[in-house]
Amino acid sequence: RAIAEACRAARPGIEISAAVWRTPASGREKVLQDYPAWIEAGWCDFVCPMIYTKDRAVFSADLGAILREVPAGRVVAGIGVYLGDDEKIPVEVAAALAPDQIAAGRAQGIAGFGLFAYGSFHATADTDGGYQGKDAARLARLRGARRAALVAGPLANAGER
């Protein structure tokens, strides 16, 4: 509350968000985040639940749990794109994970999406970012396939946050 009040006093009209646990129940139980109450009290304008999973059914179920407590227009779902970096997953399947979850979220009417992490789309200067020892050629193909799948598909006419 104090952070929201200080930010709004310093910059009226600012939108305040919070990256939060994947469902309201797990947020309250595991990390003391009662983010539906934060939205209701006006301390946050929108939340970004970190729904990091490879499974569309789990993504949709978690999103459904969120939407039972938070209005859809206040949800910007976090998608764990990096989970497809697992070398056991074919490049085509890994590249389709984010577009598939974006489609699931749009079907439920949420405000937008956050894609984690940058290194899943572009090479970084961070040599200790979890990419050491990975097949560099496969990773380059995967990054390109992800960008192409998003630009040609769900981001072609994006108007979300």
Q: How many residues does the chain have?
A: 161
pLDDT tens-digit map of 60-111 = 999 999 999 999 999 999 999 988 887 788 899 999 999 999 999 999 999 9
Question: Cβ distance 56 to 104 under 8 Å?
Answer: yes
Assessment of whether the complete model's pTM goes beyond 0.75: yes
